[in-house]
């Protein structure tokens, strides 16, 4: 068996094209252009790359982008003050504070300061709380988990009753995607560093979401034949044969898994492109919500 390759780039391109078309219609109808504010504290190279990619994607979709680059030693008070100013800025529909923040800053306090109506990252405690409650709807769903769910829905007729295993329990991916799978009526197991007989648990999965941050941890013989594998991991490893001496791999040993799974996301080109696409979709949604206020 050779797995179907789930092309995240293609699905993300569809989402981005849909967002761009609706934004163009909004502007033509005389409505405001959606606006996204990105806040970057410090000089983390990976964060700088991510923010530039988000700003470029905004430009391509017709969304206005407001960038705020703050020094590493920015105080908690000054960062929260900026967030409050952006909350009050009518040009800004979405606020994205790039994580991780420098260690001296209280991440939870910063995220809680973002207006619920502008929380396009979906990390506000109220949004996560609503996600965890049956019958409640969050204003926004976190972007990477939302992207994972869209890829699953495009490759499965239904998630009802399937055995889903989520490997990893981070606030950013693992826990939100598990909650979304529960909402979709899957039977969900969350695995972590203290899970006993981990390979055996993973082998029960009709759907596996790997988001643990350990390169190629999941081996081919961990995977149930025909399972759908969503690999969220992005890990850089040494590779002397590569041009720059390194290459990106996921949390799943792709070359092994592709021979067993029914469908699988590659790294890169799987979940990664979906995150920015869903951010654009959330920013458009925020603009549409502001129209009704």
Assign residue 200 the CATH number of its domain. Answer: 3.40.50.720
234 is in an annotated binding site: yes
φ/ψ of 63, rounded to 5, equals -95, 135
End-to-end CA distance of the chain: 53
Assess if residue 191 is contained within a domain. Answer: yes
**Residue 188: which domain range?**
143-273
CATH number at residue 45: 3.40.50.10860
What pLDDT band is residue 18 in, cutting at 50, 70 and 90? very high
Q: Single out the residue in 115, 131, 153 at which a domain terminates.
A: 115
**Do residue 166 and residue 111 come from a single domain?**
no
Assess if residue 132 is contained within a domain. Answer: no
Q: What percent of the chain has pLDDT over 70?
A: 100
Per the prediction, the chain carries an average pLDDT of 95
**Do residue 262 and residue 162 come from a single domain?**
yes
Assess if residue 157 is contained within a domain. Answer: yes
pLDDT of 104 over the 90 cut: yes
Query: What is the pLDDT, as a whole number, of residue 170?
Result: 93
Short-list 160, 185, 163, 189, CA closest to 174: 189
Assess if residue 230 is contained within a domain. Answer: yes
233 is in an annotated binding site: no
Assess if residue 249 is contained within a domain. Answer: yes
Assess if residue 286 is contained within a domain. Answer: no
The residues annotated with a catalytic role in the active site are 54, 98, 121
241 is in an annotated binding site: no
Counted domains in the chain: 2
CA–CA gap between residue 252 and residue 229 (Å, rounded) = 9
**Do residue 256 and residue 187 come from a single domain?**
yes
169-172 contacts: CB < 8 A, separation 24 or more? 170/211, 171/123, 171/128, 172/99, 172/123, 172/142, 172/144
**Do residue 149 and residue 64 come from a single domain?**
no
**Do residue 255 and residue 156 come from a single domain?**
yes
**Do residue 172 and residue 235 come from a single domain?**
yes
Report, as an integer, the average pLDDT of 181-194: 96
What pLDDT band is residue 291 in, cutting at 50, 70 and 90? confident
**Do residue 36 and residue 147 come from a single domain?**
no
270 is in an annotated binding site: no
Assess if residue 138 is contained within a domain. Answer: no
What is the value of pTM for the model shown? 0.94
Assess if residue 9 is contained within a domain. Answer: no
């Amino acid at each position: 068996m050779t797995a179907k390759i789930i092309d995240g780039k293609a699905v993300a391109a569809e989402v981005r094209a849909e967002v761009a078309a609706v934004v163009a219609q909004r502007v033509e109808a005389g409505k405001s252009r959606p606006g996204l504010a990105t806040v970057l504290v410090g000089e983390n190279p990976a964060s700088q790359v991510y923010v530039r990619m988000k700003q470029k994607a905004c430009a391509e979709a017709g969304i206005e982008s407001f960038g705020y680059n703050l020094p590493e030693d920015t105080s908690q008070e000054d960062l929260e003050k900026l967030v409050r100013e952006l909350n009050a800025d009518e040009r800004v529909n979405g606020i994205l504070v790039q994580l991780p923040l420098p260690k001296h800053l209280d991440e939870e306090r910063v995220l809680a300061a973002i207006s619920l109506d502008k929380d396009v990252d979906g990390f506000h405690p109220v949004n996560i709380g609503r996600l965890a409650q049956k019958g409640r709807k969050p204003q926004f769903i976190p972007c990477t988990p939302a992207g994972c769910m869209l890829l699953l829905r495009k490759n499965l007729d239904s998630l009802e009753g399937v055995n889903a295993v989520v490997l990893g329990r981070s606030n950013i991916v693992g826990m939100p995607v598990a909650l979304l799978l529960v909402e979709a009526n899957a039977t969900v197991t969350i695995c972590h560093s203290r899970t006993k007989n981990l390979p055996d648990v993973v082998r029960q999965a009709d759907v596996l979401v790997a988001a643990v941050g350990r390169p190629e941890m999941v081996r081919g013989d961990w995977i149930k034949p025909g399972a759908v594998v969503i690999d969220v991991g992005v890990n850089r490893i040494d590779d002397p044969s590569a041009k720059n001496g390194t290459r990106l791999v996921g949390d799943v040993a792709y070359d092994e898994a592709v021979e067993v799974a029914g469908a699988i996301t590659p790294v890169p080109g799987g979940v990664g492109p979906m995150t920015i696409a869903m951010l654009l979709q959330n920013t458009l949604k925020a603009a549409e919500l502001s129209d009704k206020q």
